Structure 1
């Protein structure tokens, strides 16, 4: 049975399902409901008279016919999307949708300060920002780009710097230090309450220290572990414990006296934020404009 013009949208939906193997994630990428996506797929299968997807409560897999269809139409649809975005370079006002995956601190400290200006300049560009500290395959998950610390960017991606490098420090609230002495050496932290960090790859992070020729890591103690910078700051402000955090991310709280940096001479330097995207795909104009604006306004230096 030949494809009809009306099938184009449904085929695009099918590709998102094939990419994610998950209706909810595919629906989020496309900006539609999961039920609408399911209805679209069912109609496509009925018109083509072949099952494309096997669905259970726990999994979504492609049938042999679905795999053949996905392989056949993936590149043509990618070319259509690239052609669509190239038209943006001929418009006075760019349009389109840009999906990016960012960690929580990058969302609040890097993107939030520049977004009002971005929206004012480019009101027809829709930004879909997914805040997620887990390390994911941004291409496989349907994102145009991701933002991560420089040392964690996948090697097969094109990367651009968005911020200056960071100094990682130890900080706590005045309330925390009311009943405790400040640590004088990193090893003193073994007798403190520390708010531990779980990385995006589920690994526990060992706090790093550096002074002159000395450099080492500590698996610090603590009864609370978080994977979110905003949560760790909120807990530290309540006097729960000490946090290991980028100095630039708490500068305002330190200036107000709400947090106090300790062991400053042991601060560990680390790479700043980078945006990364696939070298095999056309970069949307909206994404280029976002990168240009971050580098112009420099919310975290550059």
Structure 2
């Protein structure tokens, strides 16, 4: 069985390497599918992981969430069921044996539809826990992802077939070891679902002046219960989460719209430019202007 799994992973690695012939990120004609190649280890990069699954096909990757560390190598996958501010970096890569990775964005509506279908037979029951997990890939999932990547070579058939393969992958995820993490997202009335609704709201309204009491009310919880379930799901406090969202957005608008640090701070909800600069430096390792210059010089 182990030999068969390695063979399936090697087949997927060959498909990915054919597409990602050079170092970089590769969006594909399948909107949910991204392919990555790195020829060297990378510096830690703060970013937001949304609902999706990442596969390491070759090399190694590390994701940190607060004080927790998630390493995943060939044949392993990391899933996130809500938007999470993480720090991500490649830990094993070289020109001779580059890091190769695949990222699939998942459809919350499809997950909900499948998980609540009375004819759907689920695996392990959903339980409370973090909105991120790392597990070994089984052969069925590896083969389904390989078929999805191979479908890029059949542009005429691709639009009709890729939604079916994505549905198969979602079913396999729900039935596998990632299933409890995903079903927490859609378990009606569960604390995870209530917190997930607040996270979706925060993603759009993070620049507003927000109080803990108002956020707790949106989750229909007391402030103390809200903080407890929020940390259990995301690995951080609501304040830490909000701060990460604001700083990530500030970085994006400085990069994409050319805003200065003061304007970006106001845009994302900061009243104090000095506080913004301190917290930005703590997260990204350099003051705003120096950080943006470093990114642009790195291409």
TM-score tier by shorter-chain length is: under 0.3
Q: Which has the higher contact order (CA 8 A, sep 6+)?
A: 1
Bigger Rg over Cα:
1
